[in-house]
Amino acid sequence: MKYKVGYTTEVFDLFHIGHLNILRNAKSHCEKLIVGVTTDELSIARKGKKPIIPFGERMEIVQHIKYVDEVVAQRDMDKLKAWEALRFDAMFVGDDWKGTDAWNRLEREFARLGVAIVYFPYTQGTSSTVIKSVLEEFLGERKAG
Give me the pLDDT at residue 129, please.
66
Above 70 in pLDDT, residue 136? no
Domain 3-144 grouped into CATH 3.30.300.130: no
Give me the pLDDT at residue 47, please.
85
Instruction: Give the pLDDT confidence of 14-61 residue by residue, as tens digits.
Output: 888 889 999 999 999 999 999 999 999 999 999 888 998 999 999 999
In sequence order, which residues have a C-beta less than 8 Å from that of residue 105 and are 6 or more positions away?
none
**Distances from the Cα of 12 to the Cαs of 22, 71, 89, 119, 139, in angstroms?**
11, 12, 22, 18, 22
> What mean pLDDT is predicted for residues 137-145?
62
Q: Please report which confidence band the pLDDT of residue 97 belongs to, taking 50, 70 and 90 as the band edges.
A: confident
Give me the pLDDT at residue 14, please.
87
Q: Which residue has the higher pLDDT, 128 or 88?
A: 88
